[in-house]
Amino acid sequence: MRGDVHTVDPKVFEACLEYTRALFAPEDDVLRALREEIRRRGFPEIYVSPEEGRLLQMLVCAVGAATVVEIGTLAGYSALWMARALPPGGRLITIEKEPRYAALAREFVRKAGLDGIVDVRVGVALEVLEDVGRAGPFDAFFIDADKVNYPKYLEWGLAHVRRGGLIMADNAYWGGAVANPEVRDPETAAIREYNERAARDPRLTSIVIPIRDGIAVSVMTR
Ligand SMILES: C[S@@+](CC[C@H](N)C(=O)[O-])C[C@H]1O[C@@H](n2cnc3c(N)ncnc32)[C@H](O)[C@@H]1O
């Protein structure tokens, strides 16, 4: 019987995911070494998956983005995927509050030959964004930092992403908590608010792509 791979059998779904990852999102030595180094240093292994990296890269390509802002660098895994989609002269600014993570990100930006393209800034996102915003508007914005500020990050995106540009946010499902009305903690509430605004704001055309923990993707249509 054929059907939706989510519902047929978890093993079938897992096999399809492996198939997709191997065919569409193979990692090169730099990306693989970065993941190994994150593990060796005992940093949290909370970066996007290869297929999510590929998806972000593809979306950045799809809108012809030359300027991207990311919040939540960790060690630069998602930044490397997106930066590789940029045209000559393109630039990705990524913001990380933890200096140790940012230092590793800078090391791998160099290893990936993306010096001068990826700019890793250390600081608290809302403060750094204030300064970054002066160089806008930007073509794409990827949100992957503290969840309670997601609605504020969306506000920033609405003010600083160009028409036709992208606002994307990881963890839109928050492990399924957003769809469970009994869960009411501040992080879940903030992600719900983000999703509701992304779905209803007349300036945006949005959807959550059900990949891993869900990536909310919005196009600035107005
Ligand atoms: C999920 S990780 C980012 C993973 C990264 N985007 C990737 O896929 O490779 C979230 C990161 O956001 C950082 N972070 C959390 N709150 C922040 C804030 N307010 N400002 C800047 N960075 C923040 C954390 O230190 C952590 O490294």
pLDDT tens-digit profile of 72-92?
A: 999 999 999 999 999 999 999
Ligand 1 pocket residue status of 54, Cβ below 6 Å: no
Q: Which atom of ligand 1 is nearest to the CA of 75?
A: 9
Rounded distance, CA 154 to CA 33, Å?
32
- Mutate which of 27, 73, 106 for ligand 1? The one with the most ligand atoms within 8 Å of its CB, which is 73
Best residue among 38, 144, 150, 191 to mutate for probing ligand 1's pocket (most ligand atoms within 8 Å of CB) is: 144
Instruction: Indicate if ligand 1 lies below 6 Å from the C-beta of 22.
Output: no
> Which pLDDT belongs to residue 43?
98
Q: Which residue has the tokens 């939706």?
A: 4
CB-CB contact of 161 with 167 (8 Å): yes
Residue 150 to residue 174: CA distance in whole angstroms:
12
* 4: confidence class by pLDDT, cuts 50, 70, 90: low
Domain 5-220 grouped into CATH 3.40.50.300? no
User: Ligand 1: which residue has its CA nearest to atom 7?
Assistant: 47
Q: Which residue, by CA, sits nearest to atom 27 of ligand 1?
A: 74
Q: Measured between alpha carbons, how far is 31 from 21 in angstroms, rounded to an integer? A: 14
Q: Quick: pLDDT tens for 181-208.
A: 999 999 999 999 999 999 999 999 999 9
Report the alpha-carbon distance of residue 36 to residue 204 in Å, rounded: 38
Structure tokens at 109: 């930006």
- Whether the CB of 96 sits within 6 Å of ligand 1: yes
Give the pLDDT band of residue 9 (cuts 50, 70, 90).
Answer: confident
- pLDDT of res. 215: 98
Which pTM value belongs to this model? 0.97
Q: What is the mean pLDDT of the chain?
A: 96
Please, how many CA atoms are within 13 Å of residue 90, restricted to the half-sphere of its CB?
21
Give the per-residue pLDDT at 222. Answer: 82
147 Cβ inside 6 Å of ligand 1: no
